[in-house]
Amino acid sequence: MKIKKKLQKIGVIFAAVSLLPLAGCGNLVTLSDRYLSVDSATLPSAAPDASAPALQPAGGTGTAAAQTAVAAAAGSSAVAQTAAGGDAALVQNAAAQTAAAGSTVSQNSAEKTAAGQADPAGDEIAAASQSAADAVPAGDGAAAASQSAADAAAAGDGAAAASQSAADAYAAGDTSASGLPLTPLYAEYSVFLSRLSEDERTDFYAIYRGLMSFAGQIDLPVALPDSEVSKLLQLMVAECPELLQFGSSWQQSTDLHSNVRSVIPTYALSEEETAAQYATVSALIDSFHAQLDGYDQYQTELAIYNYIVEHCVYSTTSSYASTAFGALVDGSAKCDGRAKAMVWVLRSFGIESSVLTGSDHAWVILNIDGTYCNTDPTFDDNESGGSQHPCSYAYFNVPQSAIADDPYPADELYTDLGIPDTVSWTQNYHVRSGFWIASGQDASALFQAQTQAALQAGAGLISIRFENPADYAAASAASASWLQSALNWGAASCSVTTYDYSDDNLLFLELQFQNS
């Protein structure tokens, strides 16, 4: 399932534009400079910044080995071309720009310039932006609650020990003759594997090994009720994104007591096809590691998120729509394929994460620096009529309260296992970027600063999220007058596209300026 946000075009505003640089203005980002480093004196705009690089396909332009593997797995030269479509020059340019700027923007998001940095437009804007950044709505209590939940499972040590206990019969890192793992990949960074009972973990590992060995029938070490085995298999589909060959089709053989003795799976791919796709995804992830060396967890997550949003078209009918291969390599997937892709890459960086499913939708729960939150690379992929619109980050690292009105909550199998509380906004995109307005706070200075930055660049975004729905409604009603007050009549026109994120208390506008 995917819900599109309503796109509304609201015409052209004619205004005279002063093209003189603002006092103290540094280098400004244009839309074509999406991830390049900028001077610390940049206006607090909603334009992209350099806190995380734009990830490229493996090898920048793709290696011959990767292309061959993709073509063999997919049977299509078009998929092989997808793997070859990167541009290493962008990453190299970003690195050169960062070195030239002599500064690192580690706190910000990959798509926006932080509002709380040095502000050439005046102390008032800097103060307003910093106040927005400081006003984290969850407060110390929520952060403490998240940390308390994190203490139980986030560090990974307990999960690793529990998973290893269930897998004592199998050597860690054991692989099949075709190079496929025979124990769950990065199990220590799963949110839920450690929450299984010992009997459930034992059967989970046995089924996994059988699937990766392409067994026709998998006998279970522990006979469990039919309903429990069904939940285990449902969990495995989402929890192990590297199981590219296994979907939602299997048979269960039960005894007279309705306990399952064996599972007969249906495979969507041959062993050779699975191995080729696995190798291709692994090579791509290796290239991500090379590009993200030295970045923190938040920056790494943001770069992965951006890659999926920008490189994957939403599709329910593509050949690999439900797999990580579809999202990462084929460039076409639906919500579960996107969520699996994100989890596979996140775990490879040591970030605890898992796919959550509910109401025919899939998203990700993850732990960033001790804070559990939800992130959804499907709902934030703003596509319309074949066109890619700017990413709003409305669903990037949000608490449960922010997604309650969408097709959540999670399925029963997750609630039975126990879902960590997601109550804090501390790792949220808009909070980290300084685009958050606490209850009762004035948003006009931040709005005008983002408008001026867009004006200087020729185009840009207004992206401001509000804690209080009433404050959002008031700012939305005032936005036209705020925009006009930042401009002068007569010399240029401004085309404004507004995106309806009223359910998320997010004011999100796209501005395009043209000289008259």
Cα 232 from Cα 483, distance rounded (Å): 54
Contact residues for 392 (Cβ-Cβ < 8 A; gap 6+): 5, 380, 382, 463, 499, 501, 504, 506, 508
Are the C-beta atoms of residues 454 and 511 closer than 8 Å to each other? yes
Q: pLDDT tens digit string along 190-217?
A: 999 999 999 999 999 999 999 999 999 9
Helices (H), 154-225: 157-166, 198-212
Cβ-count burial 370-386 (b if 16+ within 10 Å, e if not): bbbbbbbbbbbbbeeee
pLDDT bin (cut points 50, 70, 90) of residue 422 is very high
Instruction: Look at residues 436, 339, 479, 458 and name the one whose alpha carbon lies nearest to residue 31.
Output: 458
Domain ranges in the chain are: 1-51+125-137+427-516, 160-273
- Ramachandran angles phi, psi of 237, nearest 5°: -60, -40
pLDDT in the model for residue 516: 46
- The beta-strand segments (E) located in 194-329 are 218-225, 246-254, 259-267, 313-314
Q: At 16, is the secondary structure helix, strand, or coil?
A: strand
pLDDT bin (cut points 50, 70, 90) of residue 57 is confident
- Rounded to the nearest integer, the mean pLDDT of the chain is 74
* pTM strictly above 0.75: no
pLDDT bin (cut points 50, 70, 90) of residue 247 is confident
Instruction: Judge if the upstream peptide bond of residue 53 is cis by omega within 30 degrees of 0.
Output: no
Residue 26 pLDDT greater than 50, yes or no: no
End-to-end CA distance of the chain: 44
Q: pLDDT tens digit string along 126-183?
A: 333 333 334 444 433 333 333 433 343 334 444 444 444 444 555 556 899 999 999 9
Q: If you search the block for the tokens 């793709």, which residue do you land on? A: 62
Residue 415 pLDDT greater than 80, yes or no: yes
DSSP code string of 478-509: HHHHHHHHTSEEEEEEEEEEEEEEGGGTEEEE
Lowest mean pLDDT among 289-298, 343-352, 452-461, 472-481: 452-461
C-alpha of 360 from chain center: 19
Instruction: Look at residues 179, 313, 323, 303 and name the one whose alpha carbon lies nearest to residue 246.
Output: 323
